[in-house]
Amino acid sequence: MDVIQKVKELNSVEFNPMQLKALEQGLFDSNVIISSPTASGKTLVSEITAINSIINKKKKVIYACPLKALASEHFNEFKSKYSKELNIKATISTGDFDSSSKYLQNYDIIFTTYEKTESLLRHKAEWLSLIGLLVVDEIHEIDSDRGPTIEIMITKLLLLNPKMQVLGLSATIPNAKELAKWLKAKLIESSFRPVKLNEGVFFENKIHFLRCKEKIEDKNDSVISLSLDAIKKGKQSLVFCNTRPSSIATAKKLAKTVEKNLLEKERKFLSQKSDEILNALENPTEQCRILANLVKSGVAFHNAGMLSKQRTIVEDLFRKRLLKVVSATSSLAAGINMPAFRVIIPSVFRYTASGMQKIPVREYKQMAGRGGRPSFDTSGESVLIAGNEFEADELKEEFILGDIEDVSSKLGIEPVLRTHVLAAIATGFAFDLESLEKFFSKTFYAYQFDGLEEIFMKINSVLRELQEMNFIKGDDKSFKPTPLGKRIAELYLDPLSAKLILDSLKKPLTDFSFLFLLCSSFEFYPLFSVPKSREADLWAQINIESQNLPIDLEQEMFSDVSLIKKYNSALLLQKWINEFPEDSLRKEFNVQPGILHSKLMIADWLLYCFSELALISGNKNFVSVISKLRKRIKYGVREELLHLTELKGIGRVRARKLFNSNLTSVSLIKKTELNSLAGILGKETAFKIKKQLGQVSQKELESVKETFSEQTSLDSF
């Protein structure tokens, strides 16, 4: 099949200069790194390469992304365009880190994350040997905390499939040649951008672009002035804020101004979507109410504190041009496809462990790259805000005209090495010092730093640690994983986290002990912060409850700088499983719904790991205790409600209502009349529960369908 022509037809496009350059240089014959600006068409090039691998080479494809949302976006787009037309089986897999996901062997292309791909390698998924192409989206992320995972994933897959092709997609980076040489890849660099980007600095009511100035009507607030100017042009804006609270505050500040500029039909649709945002939880939190009200006004915030469902709605409304301004944290810049005409950056500073620091130029360029919406705009804008002319000149020189930083390997960090050395041994990629050296010599670290002398000193130290922890056995000439070590690698656990758990399983443990343990695990970091005003009270509490902690408190008080944060985080989880309302948790612990639910997912995974380690270490008496605690973490309930939450649509709030009405079991709910149940849960929810239990007649089904066809409420599923 002439894949190039077919993709061109299915997309109804003419290839742009970057895409033509890639095709002319032999896209199918070798490894390729494409370094070009945001929205330059890299995804289409990857689709052509993937389809060629599947149809002409009869080989599978893995498309690895940094984010689940990005994997989902690419999967949906690929499937809608090609699956039916070309009979290509596409799927997405981003969860379940304790499985080889054997079913994936039935698919031609798998959209996934870096971590899931590495997990599949740790489980020795046999179908991985059939991979003909690995697409690494955002390959410049090799410079981030997740970089070692990308590096190791690529290294392992190339060792497993020496003839496999690698296609790395990247925003513009200075040392793209270095990445290309590491992978023995062709480098395709392009400055082409379908929508011209004008970068400037705003001060004294003017945007000072490099070659011109644009006067903006003064509204005494720079963000409002710039946003309103874009709205009057029929355009949208993205405002990048340096903290989650500032993203919310900015959206609030913009709401009144933006609302005045909405059309009546926009107000009506936004109002409907506002209800969906409000009811994302059984019991809406204050943040849910704030976001819902903002959406009615045509603005929203976008940050990690939001629930996943809410983020999806906001993104969809913005793409449909119904939301006029979204204030976001910088994580959006490296994520999903959500461009706007104007990007506004009020500050280039952000909070770090070392205090306020300027962002890297690369991060600025990622944010700026969201300016300009293909098929809607002929040009886009990125606007930094300055207080005076001196600051404006500094911003222009440092960020607009400044050099982007090189990407560099982060593999040499010892805690990272510990995890990947164990995984390499557990999966058979290394079995002695020679094979371990050979394995790491294939990494980007070895290429970039010209050898392994420094890293091997750390690796030797890590090997001794792993032997002392009984995760590997042998000597310098030969070593292999113990059953414990193999299982820890499969579980994607940091060896130190695993050792902490295994040591603690030898002691008497309460529910709170387990909660404290999972908050002490590396995987749960970063911990919830503790305000200075609460520290004294927490120290008093921790001393009183010392018997429930799986540690020597007197020793840890002086050696563990994170002790009070671990205790505070465990307290939050304890209050969650004791049914404290989310709003009260937000006020006491300053935790947003999205962050809380993200941490609950990690807690659930860690408790699963605890259970597996309890089994393999012979501590089976803990398995049922951990299993019950997992369910309580999932639903946020006391033990007495667990049976009720097994019903679909019954969460912590409805379960408590049922229990307080003496409906303490599913059998009692079955015996309850529909009308009586409706008095507790509302008519629609009561009906759906009865239907779930097989207690609704066809006549009742038709009657209730008619009654509720137009109704949308909190009781909806």
The CATH number covering residue 693 comes to 1.10.150
Per the structure, the count of domains in the chain is 5
| Phi, psi of 165, deg, nearest 5 | -90, 140
CB atoms within 10 A of CB 452: 19
pLDDT score of 710 more than 80: no
Give CA–CA dist 63/165, Å, rounded: 12
Q: Is residue 713 part of a domain?
A: no
Q: Which residues pair with 355 in a beta bridge?
A: 352
699 versus 230: the higher-pLDDT residue is 230
Collapsing DSSP states into helix, strand and coil, what is residue 224? helix
Residue 74 confidence (pLDDT): 95
- Range of 281's domain? 196-400
Residue 336 confidence (pLDDT): 74
How many Cα neighbours within 13 Å face the side chain of 8? 11
Residue % of the chain over a pLDDT of 90: 83
Question: Does 309 lie in the same domain as 338?
Answer: yes
Name the one residue in this structure whose structure tokens are 């937000």: 586
Residue 715 confidence (pLDDT): 33
Question: Does 113 lie in the same domain as 66?
Answer: yes
Name the one residue in this structure whose structure tokens are 């690895």: 64
CATH of the domain at 464: 1.10.10.10
Question: Cα 515 to the chain's mean position, in Å?
Answer: 23
Q: Which residues pair with 170 in a beta bridge?
A: 35
Give CA–CA dist 682/692, Å, rounded: 16
E strands, 346-438, where?
Answer: 349-352, 355-358, 379-385
Strands 325-329 and 299-302: parallel
Residue 709 confidence (pLDDT): 44
Question: Which residues have a Cβ under 8 Å from the Cβ of 101 and sit 6 or more positions away?
Answer: 93, 120, 123, 125
Nearest to 91, CA basis, from 102, 76, 70: 76
Name the one residue in this structure whose structure tokens are 């971590």: 115
Question: Does 569 lie in the same domain as 533?
Answer: yes
pLDDT tens column, 34-69:
999 988 899 999 999 999 999 999 999 999 999 898
pLDDT tens column, 105-147:
999 999 999 999 999 999 999 999 999 999 999 999 999 888 9
Question: Does 375 lie in the same domain as 427?
Answer: no
Q: Is residue 615 part of a domain?
A: yes
Strands 213-215 and 206-209: antiparallel
pLDDT tens column, 169-198:
998 788 999 999 999 999 999 999 999 999
Q: Which amino acid is at 685?
A: T
The interaxial angle of helices 483-490 and 414-426, nearest 10 deg, is 110
Q: Is residue 407 part of a domain?
A: no
Radius of gyration of the chain (CA): 27
The dihedral through the CA atoms of 649, 650, 651, 653 has a sign that is: positive
Tallying the residues shown for the chain, one arrives at: 717
pLDDT tens column, 450-506:
888 888 888 999 999 999 999 999 887 899 999 999 999 999 999 999 999 999 999
CATH of the domain at 601: 1.10.3380.20
Show the tokens assigned to 86.
């070309």
Give CA–CA dist 223/247, Å, rounded: 12
Question: Does 458 lie in the same domain as 438?
Answer: yes
Show the tokens assigned to 584.
């009260």
211 burial (CB, 10 Å; 0-12 / 13-18 / 19+) is exposed
Q: pLDDT confidence of 545, banded at 50, 70, 90?
A: confident
The interaxial angle of helices 563-577 and 582-589, nearest 10 deg, is 170
The whole-number average pLDDT for the span 281-292 is: 94
Question: Does 317 lie in the same domain as 221?
Answer: yes
Q: Is residue 717 part of a domain?
A: no
Give CA–CA dist 620/329, Å, rounded: 44
pLDDT tens column, 340-355:
999 999 999 988 777 7
CB atoms within 10 A of CB 55: 17
Question: Does 219 lie in the same domain as 163?
Answer: no
* Listed ranges 44-53, 526-535, 679-688; the one with the highest mean pLDDT: 44-53
End-to-end Cα separation, the chain, in angstroms: 46
Question: Does 273 lie in the same domain as 210?
Answer: yes
Residue 702 confidence (pLDDT): 57
Q: Is residue 255 part of a domain?
A: yes
Q: Is residue 406 part of a domain?
A: no
Show the tokens assigned to 232.
């009057």
Residue 356: its H or E element: strand 355-358
pLDDT tens column, 436-454:
999 999 999 999 998 888 8
Q: Are 410 and 144 in contact (CB under 8 A)?
A: yes
Question: Does 72 lie in the same domain as 161?
Answer: yes
Residue % of the chain over a pLDDT of 70: 97
Question: Does 476 lie in the same domain as 358?
Answer: no
Give CA–CA dist 135/21, Å, rounded: 18
Q: Is residue 714 part of a domain?
A: no
Question: Does 250 lie in the same domain as 169?
Answer: no
Residue 335 confidence (pLDDT): 65
Residue after which a domain boundary falls, among 636, 652, 681 = 636
Q: Is residue 409 part of a domain?
A: no
pLDDT score of 713 more than 60: no
CA angle 585, 588, 592 (to 5 degrees): 50
CATH of the domain at 42: 3.40.50.300
Give CA–CA dist 308/320, Å, rounded: 19
Provide the mean pLDDT of the chain: 92
Give CA–CA dist 565/696, Å, rounded: 50
Question: Does 229 lie in the same domain as 306?
Answer: yes
Query: DSSP readout, 92-127?
Result: EE---SS---GGGGG-SEEEEEHHHHHHHHHTT-GG
Residue 698 confidence (pLDDT): 57
Residue after which a domain boundary falls, among 400, 434, 466 = 400
Show the tokens assigned to 230.
């874009």
Question: Which residues have a Cβ under 8 Å from the Cβ of 284 and sit 6 or more positions away?
Answer: 278, 292, 714
Nearest to 466, CA basis, from 452, 483, 453, 485: 485
pLDDT tens column, 579-626:
999 999 999 999 999 999 999 999 999 999 999 999 999 999 999 999
Residue after which a domain boundary falls, among 490, 524, 540 = 490
